[in-house]
Structure 1
Amino acid sequence: MSIKNFFLVIFCLFFVFACAERKIYMPEGKVEGEIPKKEEKIEAGKPEQQEEISTEKMSELVKKLQDEVRDIHFDFDKYDIKQEDIPTLKKVASILQEYPGLKVIIEGHCDERGTAEYNFALGQKRANAVKQYLITLGVPSSKMEIISYGEEKPLCNEHNESCWQKNRRAHFVFIEEGK
């Protein structure tokens, strides 16, 4: 084997391992990184609950959901879904399936550490991880949008771990479909 071929093999191996994706936590009984089958889908509400609701009631529902649905949080430099956040994601999935006129914008946020470009990309990965998890729960992709704010919209401005943890989050913004 020539030295040129040796370095080519080393480069290829490095490339393969460097491009490996991180895995998303999935419900028990699933291999980490495996997408659950559709039987894991959250059951939608009864047909009578899926009737169109008035604009006024929809606005009230949106306000109520903004107050009730909490953010989910991430570890430093990670975009893996944590086990303790799964009930929140199941609640979001159930809500989106119950109300056909409702959509959600999933915002990805980071703490201040790292470059602005890196944090923007990490926020995008966090928002996308949440979206992909909701898809596995049966939420149509068309009912979700993602956006990254990186470090631009912190909840806390102190420079300590407690504050940084609050800023490493995915936030849900509910909107009426078509708006």
Structure 2
Amino acid sequence: MRHIAIAGIGALALTLGACANKDKAVDTATSDVPATAPTGDADDEVDLVELPGAQADLIANAGSDTVYFATDESLLDGPAKATLAAQARWMLANPTVRASIEGHADERGTREYNLALGERRANAAKQYLMSQGVPESRLTTLSWGKERPVAVGSDESAWAQNRRAVTVVVR
């Protein structure tokens, strides 16, 4: 009888130990093995492709998520319209996607002026997307003014990169 009790305790310990090891294998946050580590068999590896609806998919299929503006302007030029037309085609092909159009300005001007300019730029991009068939219900706008520059510097090159509207996939 004593041997059965010891065997039962041993079996229980092995079961609990196996469960603990299973939990460790699943918890990649505490594992030393990277979550994307190859398995060694090329057929078993996951192909990292862009998922439809993702920001990278928008960029890959529309060419860009950004349009640029002239100084103190919110009018769309030819290249901006072409980019937005491509974005509209992508959005129409992905009908569950929603987007926020974020307007930006360069560092010159007051905070208030640049917030208003960023809003006009975001609205210009939104209106163009809507003219291409994208429902208004899928689009929102936001102005960052000069608060989020992509290029730091006080020269025309930096300013030109910061005068923009960016289409951000928000789902």
Question: After TM superposition, which residue ranges in structure 1, 4 or more long, deviate above 3 angstroms?
Answer: 57-61
C-alpha distance in structure 1 between counterparts of 2:51 and 2:100, whole Å: 16
- Measured on the aligned residues, the alpha-carbon RMSD in Å equals 1.8
Query: Is the contact between residue 107 and residue 127 of structure 1 (CA under 8 Å) also seen in structure 2?
Result: yes
1:153 is matched with which residue? 148
The verdict on how the C-alpha distance between 1:58 and 1:141 changes in structure 2, with shifts beyond 3 A counting, is: farther
Residue 167 (str. 1) matches residue 162 (str. 2): yes
* Residue deviations 1:29-65 (CA, integer Å, cap 9, x gap): xxxxxxxxxxxxxxxxxxxxxxxxxxxx995540423
C-alpha distance in structure 1 between counterparts of 2:74 and 2:97, whole Å: 25
1:135 is matched with which residue? 130
The verdict on how the C-alpha distance between 1:98 and 1:117 changes in structure 2, with shifts beyond 3 A counting, is: same
From 56, 59, 70, give the equivalent of 1:64: 56
Query: Is the contact between residue 96 and residue 143 of structure 1 (CA under 8 Å) also seen in structure 2?
Result: no
Query: What is the percentage of aligned positions where both structures have the same residue?
Result: 38
The verdict on how the C-alpha distance between 1:109 and 1:94 changes in structure 2, with shifts beyond 3 A counting, is: same
C-alpha distance in structure 2 between counterparts of 1:74 and 1:134, whole Å: 16
State the structure with more CA Rg.
2
C-alpha distance in structure 2 between counterparts of 1:146 and 1:66, whole Å: 17
2:44 is matched with which residue? none
5+ residue gaps, structure 1, are 1-56
Query: Is the contact between residue 65 and residue 168 of structure 2 (CA under 8 Å) also seen in structure 1?
Result: no
Structure 1 stretch displaced more, 88-97 or 58-67: 58-67
SS at match of 2:75: coil
2:22 is matched with which residue? none
The verdict on how the C-alpha distance between 1:144 and 1:158 changes in structure 2, with shifts beyond 3 A counting, is: same
1:87 is matched with which residue? 82
Query: Is the contact between residue 107 and residue 148 of structure 1 (CA under 8 Å) also seen in structure 2?
Result: yes
5+ residue gaps, structure 2, are 1-48
* Residue deviations 1:12-42 (CA, integer Å, cap 9, x gap): xxxxxxxxxxxxxxxxxxxxxxxxxxxxxxx
2:9 is matched with which residue? none
| Amino acid corresponding to residue 83 of structure 1 in structure 2 | G
Per the TM alignment, residue 67 of structure 1 is displaced from its structure 2 partner at its CA by 4.2
| Amino acid corresponding to residue 74 of structure 1 in structure 2 | F
> TM-score under structure 2 normalisation?
0.66
C-alpha distance in structure 2 between counterparts of 1:59 and 1:102, whole Å: 12
Listed as ranges, the matches of 1:1-179 within 5 Å are 61-65=53-57, 67-68=59-60, 69-176=64-171
SS at match of 2:98: strand
